[in-house]
Amino acid sequence: MSDLVETTRVEQFEPRTGRSLWSDAFHRLLRDKIAIACFVIICIYAGIAIAAPMMFPDWANEVDYDNLNARPSWSEPLGTDGFGRSILQKTLLGANVSMTVGLTANIIAIPLGMVLGAIAGYYGGWIDDIIVWLYSTLASIPGLVKLLAIKFAFIDKVLWKGSWYELDLDGLPGICIALGVISWIGTCRLVRAETMKLREMDYVLAARASGRGGLSILFRHIIPNLLHIGIINFSLGFVGAISAEVFLSFLNLGVQDRPSWGRMISDAKMQLVAGQWWEIGAATVAIFLIVLAWNIFGDRLRDALDPKLRNV
């Protein structure tokens, strides 16, 4: 009897194999049905963004003057616009613009913010002062003014080796670069604060004592431990980039050569007076779904990657 009790006691207190931060976050997300549903919605939008330009390459030429502003029907589930073009096609093509802007802007902003924040937090001194001054100055400028100034700065001609070249990044490329250049500030602040904590950790001090240089410590020991901040900010920054693109397109300052949800709302705003709601309704629902999915998934991802909640 005593042997059985002892065996049971040993089995009861047998240590379990631990999980890494990424493995634990993955298992947390798999158990969260709402996060999985939001991720599926995001994947569907991404698939539409990739496939829509190939499915509807000639949408601009498909003008039908016999069916202007036609109501939704079996042949046109979302109706037609003022030129007789399919609103369903415009809505799907608008996903391509929004997802492209969100992805490209964050690919620029997140690495830039993480590198600058890590350098400022690790080295301190005059390097920290310059980077803090830079993002404090940019943060003090209203976002819309800053976005427009950077966007229109790309419409110019540049002199290179005695020849003039046209640097025309208006439209989608200009929006992506402008959003990327101004969206790194929040990431930089968070990474700088976390780097100040990590640089005093034992493993960083040991690496410094072993003779490793500052850049080696940053890219091998500090930044890898801050990747969860970049991933969380990437997911949350997607919403800001999509919203900014829609706002600029609504003001006719964004994409001009392809359908955009902001342009759809702008073109259809006067049609509401005549009771023609289908174009603005399609764009609004499309924006609502992707923004809601990214917001919820970003919050759940932040909870899953928070080290303080790993044992909860």
Asked, for residue 105, whether it belongs to a domain, the answer is yes
Q: What is the pLDDT of residues 55-77, one digit of tens each?
A: 887 776 766 666 777 777 787 77
Q: What is the mean pLDDT of residues 148-162?
A: 60
Choose from 108-122, 148-162, 241-255 the range with maximum mean pLDDT.
108-122
Give me the residues paired with residue 165 across strands: 158
Predicted local confidence at residue 23, as pLDDT: 74
CA 304 from centre of chain: 18
| Residue pLDDT, tens place only, 114-136 | 999 999 988 888 888 999 999 88
- Indicate which CATH number applies to the domain containing 201: 1.10.3720.10
- Number of domains the chain is built from: 1
What mean pLDDT, rounded, does the chain reach?
79
CA atoms within 13 Å, Cβ hemisphere of 30: 6
Q: Which domain holds residue 102?
A: 28-309
Residue 248 domain flag: yes
| Residue 267, CA distances (Å) to 32, 67, 208, 279, 304 in order | 39, 17, 60, 9, 41
Q: Are 206 and 217 in contact (CB under 8 A)?
A: no
Regarding pTM above 0.85, the answer is no
- The verdict on residue 42 lying in a domain is yes
Collapsing DSSP states into helix, strand and coil, what is residue 72?
coil
Q: Is 16 within a domain?
A: no
The answer to whether position 297 is within a domain reads yes
Q: Is 138:146 a contact under the CB 8 Å cutoff?
A: yes
Distance CA 283, CA 207 (A): 53
Question: Has residue 3 been placed in a domain?
Answer: no
Q: Which amino acid is at 241?
A: A
Say if residue 4's pLDDT is above 90.
Answer: no
Q: CA-CA distance, 67 to 71, in Å (whole number)?
A: 9
pLDDT of residue 14: 47
Q: What backbone phi and psi angles, to 5 degrees, belong to 153?
A: -70, -15
- d(C-alpha 279, C-alpha 179), whole Å: 27
